[in-house]
Structure 1
Amino acid sequence: MYLKSIKLVNYRNYDQLYLDFDKRINLLLGKNGQGKTNILEAIYLMSIGKSFRTNKDKELIRFNSENTYIGGIFSKKNDDNIIELVIGNNMKKGIKVNKVSIDKIMQLLGNLNVVIFSPEDLKLVKDGPKERRKFIDREISQIIPLYYNYISNYNKILTQRNKLLKSNYLDENLLDIYDEKLSEYAKYIYLYRRDFIKKIELLSKKIHKNLTSDVEDLKIEYVNQIHVSDDDGLDILKNKFLEKIKSSRNLDKQYRTTKIGPHRDDISIFINSLDVRLYGSQGQQRTASISLKLSEIELIKEETLEYPILLLDDIFSELDQKRQKLLIEEFENIQIFITSAEENHKLIFEDKKDVNIIYIEKGRASQ
């Protein structure tokens, strides 16, 4: 899988932009604030349907414009495909895949798979559980688009339940209905997260050993409140959750929020049996984060039989030379987009033939 070209109209600081890409390495060079990350964001939008930088679509529209267009042609299993998005100030976001309109994000997911790696991802281990849940949910949704529906529906019911808990009149029968609905979606979320974390642990363990020359052993555990086991099927998971959330009802009333559920899941990460978040050095935390992010790539390849596109947003400035080269050499068959403000990063690719260098300045690009 690789992106062949992109077209942007009235997007961020671009009035019009058309770029062809190399199927291997694309280096976007330019000073900060010129629009490099905007291109990566547009690629991500075509994959996920939303930005990794903002929840407000209107921020993507160029100043003084009514709407924006993002379109890209990509090759998947040797066939050309096109994804197009139109976002307007006074209209619903429109998405087309191969000229056919879609009305659900689930229908977009899995068409163009991407993995993005930014300086923020180096804090994946150190940050709070919300960031790790986001990492898990994003990757499962690319592999299993139906999962996106489960997590979206769960969150909608969760919001309604919390609103009820905060109200002056508490309808117990309505709480029962919400508990039943939550348990129906929760059973799938637990199942898919359990299986995903087991797979990601095997892959990241191997990658981490390579990164640390076999000195460190990485272990990842699924942390949840109902003690999900390897043998639990959907009915067992639903009953476990339903029993637990009902037993927590008095506590939920006291705190006026839902204390039990996959919205409080996390993963624990250990290096040589020590919790790296609590006891690991900054270097160990970064290396563990890199191992997790790189394992995403291998898992998508295993599940879809094609490598995703790798987006590296200003990551080289955060890594030493050894890890810079590792990222490039580890994935010889992957299309990579790299943004950098440092001209000397071109030297990393001086022995590579398939490198497309794109210079970005004030919303203009030259190749």
Structure 2
Amino acid sequence: MGEPVRVALRSLTLSDFRNYETLFVTFDAPLIALVGENGAGKTNLLEAISLLTAGRGLRRAALDDLARRGAPHGWAVSARIDGIGGETRIGVGHTTGDPGRRIRINGSDARGSEMLLDYLRVLWLLPSMDGLFTGPAGDRRRFLDRLVLAIDPGHGRRVADLERTLRARNRLLDERGSDAFLDAVEAQLAPLAVAVSYARQETVTLLRTRMASQAGAGQPFPQADVLLTGSFEDSAAGVPAGDLEDAYREMLASGRYRDRAAGRTLQGAHRSDLTVRHVAKDMPAALASTGEQKALLIGLVLAHAEVAAATAGLTPLLLLDEIAAHLDPDRRRALFLRLAELGLQVMMTGTDPFLFADLPQGSAILKVANGSVSPYSAA
């Protein structure tokens, strides 16, 4: 497999998005630090970029809530991307009250957000993810599904279909639907659950292989080991997909009484978990210190960025919100060096330009203030 195509965001235009009435900004560096006071709109810029690919963006916000307060019609985000096939123009927007967002690629309407993945894949790490290892399993599933989506463009649609079909089954159980109707819904549910589980497992295997290959190579962050766990995965071990679908349908049918009493479907891929361990200390990540958990998470995200680039054939854009604030100087320098080695375009945010003093030559520090973005000047 050849080297992945390097993808870079060259310009970003916002209209009535969050705190920005209008904004046009260009980018010409691989590593970019956005510096400004709390509330200046740094994370809003990252959120706008995250909407240029498939999914609901880094905050998973309702589309109407993305519009600037007082904006009468909605919002728009557009960008110029260098990458596959040269330059690509991407635009996304939403009119207040509409059910979805509009997407245009090179001036033509796109059939769905999955088409954006042909041109741009965006990964992110946010302060709200610092408690990922100790929080609920649902947060880790969503995190894993974002990782899978950067590798497998069809995964988002499969997960949405799985969730929709689960709701249909739960509703039938609650309304005492007939066995015939439940049979039909469960026949749809089983292959979706298997496909989602297999896609997750494939990504986890790729991550484990990548992180194991980096062990002892002087990586600045501790090595993590990851596993997809749960009763569904236990039952799937070594079972062909077709046989697993049959086994899951039987499991669903025999568990209807129990699931009806619980008010939800108790077994399946929707109950799986991502288990993470600190390899050097041979302990669950959830038991590591706060600083170690942050370092493990950074290492995991960087390994995934490498896997995504190798698998998709194009480098992802990496968004790191407040990444440097809680790292000691040595680890900050190691992070910046590692980011430069990866060859990705990276957008970072912080409140103090001092945090980015060790960025390598050719990086850029931009000041975010008063709804504008400009080159940072120490004067």
Partner of 1:342: 352
Partner of 2:70: 64
Q: 1:161 to 1:55 in 2, by over 3 A?
A: farther
> More displaced, 140-149 or 283-292?
283-292
1:141 aligned to 139, 149, 153, which one?
A: 149
Alignment RMSD, CA only?
2.2
1:201 aligns with 2:208: yes
1:307 aligns with 2:307: no
Partner of 1:288: 296
1:255 aligns with 2:262: yes
Shift, 1:211, TM fit:
6.7
Partner of 1:155: 163
| Unmatched tracts of structure 2, length 5 or more | 1-6
Q: 1:343 to 1:197 in 2, by over 3 A?
A: same
User: What TM-score do you get using the length of structure 1 for normalisation?
Assistant: 0.92
> More displaced, 12-21 or 156-165?
156-165
Shift, 1:59, TM fit:
1.2
| Residue-by-residue CA offset, 1:105-136 (whole Å, 9 max, x unaligned) | 22223421111111223322222211111111
Trace 1:227-266 onto structure 2 (pairs within 5 A): 227=234, 231-266=238-273
Identity of aligned residues (%): 23
Describe the SS at the equivalent of 2:81: strand
Q: Verify the 8 A CA contact 1:220 1:268 in the aligned structure 2.
A: yes
Partners of 1:2 and 1:249 in 2: CA distance: 50
Q: Verify the 8 A CA contact 1:84 1:97 in the aligned structure 2.
A: yes
Partners of 1:68 and 1:217 in 2: CA distance: 41
| Unmatched tracts of structure 1, length 5 or more | none
1:354 aligns with 2:366: no
Partner of 1:85: 92
Describe the SS at the equivalent of 1:109: helix
Partner of 2:192: 185
1:127 aligns with 2:109: no
Partner of 2:37: 31
| Residue-by-residue CA offset, 1:11-49 (whole Å, 9 max, x unaligned) | 111111111102411111110101111111111000234
Q: 1:270 to 1:73 in 2, by over 3 A?
A: same
Partner of 1:117: 125
Partner of 2:277: 270
> More displaced, 80-89 or 233-242?
233-242
Describe the SS at the equivalent of 2:163: helix
Partners of 2:330 and 2:39 in 1: CA distance: 27
Shift, 1:153, TM fit:
0.6
Shift, 1:71, TM fit:
0.2
User: What TM-score do you get using the length of structure 2 for normalisation?
Assistant: 0.89
Partner of 2:3: none
